């Protein structure tokens, strides 16, 4: 049995080595190369300048806003789905959009938010002033939040679904109001689901680049767009690798912090 287990772990180890360990080693190697391919610490000197510090702060700020928006929408939505008799239908409606390609959803929002889009056309019919919604930070937050809402709802829904009914009944029998039950019973028991939702929303939101380009234009410059620019436009692979390396380190830090908080809450 042990021999079988050792054989079964081989594909996983190969996947880890080829697609995680080797790419990270290459990022470290190229981060010490300047634009001419010579060994240099120039990339690390540049990344600690005010320009890149501001870019990291902006990326974190937008990721926080996206996470907060999705959390504010997803928590009550998950609560409603948990207590609905149409639970399966609502879950299916929520999951189906995740099957659609991200690029297609982004272009659909362009058709909605553009100057000649559906929203402005509708406003024009009713003789209302049109708005320039596309290529704004608000549009970026709207689209990014829409995309990540299902990933925030699911872990929160699962944690709510796992709460035993007898705990809620006991709270009610002891005279607690629905609000007190929600605050004292449901919220603490769904903390782990919330932390998981924050992980799967905040971390990818740090490195968005396609939505940033198509929806926000040059109004939002974050880590993802900077890496894309370094690799595809400037072709400075050293600087792109350095930024990507710092992004990986920061993502690992967020995972450690949220995991430790989740474990403490569970214990």
Q: Express each pLDDT in 143-201 by its tens digit.
A: 999 999 999 999 999 999 999 988 888 888 888 888 898 888 999 999 999 999 999 99
Is residue 250 a contact partner of residue 241, using CB atoms and an 8 Å limit? no
Angle at 42 between CA 59 and CA 226, to 5 degrees: 25
115-146 pLDDT, tens digit each: 888 888 998 898 888 888 888 999 999 999 99
pLDDT at 265 over 60: no
What does the pLDDT read at residue 263?
52
- CA gyration radius, the chain: 23
Q: Which of 205, 65, 94 is CA-nearest to residue 157? A: 94
Hey, what are 167's tokens? 């705990």
Angle at 220 between CA 24 and CA 235, to 5 degrees: 45
Return d(Cα 42, Cα 47) in angstroms, integer: 9
48-103 pLDDT, tens digit each: 999 999 999 999 999 999 999 999 999 999 999 998 989 999 989 988 888 988 88
pLDDT at 258 over 80: no
Residue 49 main-chain phi, psi, to 5 deg: -85, 170
> What ranges make up the beta strands (E) of the chain?
none
Region of residue 135 (phi > 0: left; psi between -120 and 50: alpha; otherwise: beta)? left
100-114 pLDDT, tens digit each: 888 899 999 999 988
Return d(Cα 205, Cα 129) in angstroms, integer: 32
What does the pLDDT read at residue 1?
62
Is residue 116 a contact partner of residue 134, using CB atoms and an 8 Å limit? no
Q: Indicate the angle between helix axes 191-206 and 137-161, nearest 10 degrees.
A: 150
Task: Return the half-sphere exposure (C-beta side, CA atoms, 13 A cut-off) of residue 258.
Answer: 19
């Amino acid at each position: 049995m042990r021999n079988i287990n050792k054989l079964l772990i081989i594909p996983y180890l190969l996947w880890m080595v080829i697609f995680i360990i080797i790419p990270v080693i290459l990022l470290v190697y190229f981060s010490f190369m300047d634009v001419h391919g010579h060994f240099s610490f120039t990339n690390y000197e540049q990344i600690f300048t005010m320009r890149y510090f501001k870019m990291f702060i902006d990326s974190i700020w937008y990721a926080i806003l996206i996470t907060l928006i999705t959390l504010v929408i997803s928590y009550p939505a998950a609560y409603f789905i948990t207590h609905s008799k149409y639970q399966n239908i609502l879950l299916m409606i929520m999951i189906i959009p995740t099957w659609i390609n991200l690029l297609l959803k982004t272009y659909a929002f362009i058709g909605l938010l553009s100057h000649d889009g559906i929203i402005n056309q509708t406003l024009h019919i009713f003789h209302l002033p049109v708005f320039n919604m596309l290529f704004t930070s608000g549009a970026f937050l709207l689209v990014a939040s829409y995309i990540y809402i299902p990933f925030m709802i699911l872990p929160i829904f699962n944690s709510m679904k796992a709460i035993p009914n007898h705990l809620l009944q006991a709270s009610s029998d002891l005279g607690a109001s629905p609000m007190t039950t929600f605050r004292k019973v449901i919220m603490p028991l769904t903390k782990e689901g919330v932390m998981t939702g924050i992980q799967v929303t905040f971390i990818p939101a740090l490195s968005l680049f396609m939505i940033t380009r198509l929806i926000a234009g040059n109004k939002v410059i974050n880590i993802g767009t900077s890496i894309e620019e370094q690799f595809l436009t400037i072709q400075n692979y050293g600087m792109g690798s350095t930024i990507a390396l710092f992004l990986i380190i920061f993502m690992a830090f967020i995972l450690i912090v949220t995991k430790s908080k989740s474990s403490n809450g569970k214990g």
